[in-house]
Amino acid sequence: MTSKTKAKPKSKVARSRTPRSAAPSPSPVPTPPPDELPLAGTDRRHPSLGLGLWAQGRWGQEDERRTRATLGRAIELGIRWFDTAEVYGGGRSERILGDGLAHAGTLNPPAFVTTKVSWEHLRPGVLRAALFGSLQRLALPKVELYLVHAPNAHVPIGETMGELAQLAKEGRVGSVGVSNFDVDELEAARAALGSVPLVVNQVRYSLLTPDDGEAVLGYCRDHSIVVEAYSPLAMGLLAGRYLDSEGPSPELRRQDPNIFGPERLPSLLERARGLRKLAKDEGVPLPSIALHWLACRGVAPIFGASRPEQVEEILHAWGVRPSDEVLERADTLAGGRRA
């Protein structure tokens, strides 16, 4: 996952259904994510919902205090998958996560930490040093999952994957994955890893912006690669943001033209409003539709939050399973077709 501007298994996830009624208020202590996904070539399981920390540690003291509180609330409510990267906040995101996990003490189940090596650090010696820097900031002896943040055409994939395979064999990382890779790049990465499995590809993927995910989903299913979805709520559109009078800031428009560009935003807003009406009519939270649309594809969403109450809202939504009919209607609405 690049800093949210780079766009570059098969069974449905069964969860409890909620009766059709008015959408309930968030529970003070929402139910933690119930399901996990297999990790190829290992006896470990991949959590089905995670907290992405790409925005943490990038602001002033008050913002950092709030994000520490958000992380603490996520840990308290049972979130165990945390996704970060060395480029997020120049390493500050990893430090905040390391501090939060140290403060939490022994967790049961334990934390599942993912971090990423920058596309600028993919040559073997530099990559190894980057991993050690991340481990130091995280205060961990290893990470469960280490991803290549994005491919770099100037560095042969064999060099990068050869070093990652060696780090996995040394026990420095639990498993190896990638982010923002297309099918050809996935094929080359798998070949270069040899006996070490490629277990994850993390891509932008949401009900409103499905292109990157749909392009690799079939290949990943066929090769037991977990697809992780960043921006699963389309930068807030599928949580109801920007659908009325408030619009995205100029900074956000520049940061993510894939969603907030003037040629695309009006259509996405119209579709998101249609999805919001569907959610209201069916008595489910709008994020429930967005998250479970992904889950039914065997995809693991990574949500962002900047306040503790947002974690509670997302976990509440995760605990409400829309019907298959609702998800099919949502798919039609999001595709710009009439239901």
* Among 20, 11, 30, residue whose Cα is nearest residue 323: 20
Q: Is 257 exposed, middle or buried (0-12, 13-18, 19+ CB in 10 A)?
A: middle
Q: What per-residue confidence (pLDDT) applies to 28? A: 41
Distance CA 40, CA 177 (A): 11
Rounded to 5°, angle at Cα 2 from 5 and 60: 80
Q: What percent of the chain has pLDDT over 70?
A: 87
Lowest-pLDDT range, 16-20, 38-42, 106-110, 201-205?
16-20
Q: Which residues pair with 40 in a beta bridge?
A: none
- Residues 88, 219, 230, 242: which is the catalytic one? 88
> Nearest Cα to 55, choosing from 314, 228, 306?
306
In this prediction, residue 258 carries a pLDDT of: 87
The whole model's pTM is what?
0.88
Domains and CATH numbers, the chain: 36-334 (3.20.20.100)
pLDDT range class, residue 6, cuts 50, 70, 90: very low
Catalytic-residue membership of 242: no
Query: Which run of H or E residues covers position 179?
Result: strand 173-179
